[in-house]
Amino acid sequence: MRRLLLAVVGILAISLLLFPRNASGRVVELYYSKTCKCCIEYGKYLEARGFEVEYKETPNMESVKTAAKIPEGLQSCHTSKIRDYIIEGHVPVEVIEKVLEEMPDVDVIALPGMPSGSPGMPGPKTGPFIIYSVKGENVKEYMRV
């Protein structure tokens, strides 16, 4: 029994070395202003769905959005990064899952504003959420949910 336990512990240790914690690609860096409570709620929403969220309180969100090249009309209160993608706003997890699965050639996925009923936002959903993709200067509708 002791040999079996040692073997299991050894295998676990080796697997942790070979496959680091974020190898799944489910680590989200969430940049937010300390004055915004819905950003934290959005992070909790992601955590409840299996994402690891690294909260990055940021005094100047405008500089984050400029560096990420998020068009002004698509901006929201917080900006996230997962793998090589920028996720702007309260994007539902099914959209993020689709992006991670399909790996489209885009830089940004955005749900502009702070729509009622979107993940992390109070209130009822009043219509479909229109999600946009951005690649360079090209902005297109990516999907509706």
Q: What is the pLDDT of residues 64-90, one digit of tens each?
A: 999 999 999 999 999 999 999 999 999
Q: What is the pLDDT of residues 105-136, one digit of tens each?
A: 999 999 999 999 999 999 999 999 999 999 99
Domains of the chain and any CATH numbers: 25-144 (3.40.30)
Q: Which two tokens stand for residue 137?
A: 């200067």
Which residue would you say has higher pLDDT here, 1 or 93?
A: 93
Half-sphere exposure of 137 (CA within 13 A, CB side): 0
Q: Please tell me the pTM assigned to this model.
A: 0.82
Q: What is the pLDDT of residues 13-36, one digit of tens each?
A: 333 333 344 445 799 999 999 998
User: What span, in angstroms and rounded, lies between the C-alpha atoms of 127 and 104?
Assistant: 25
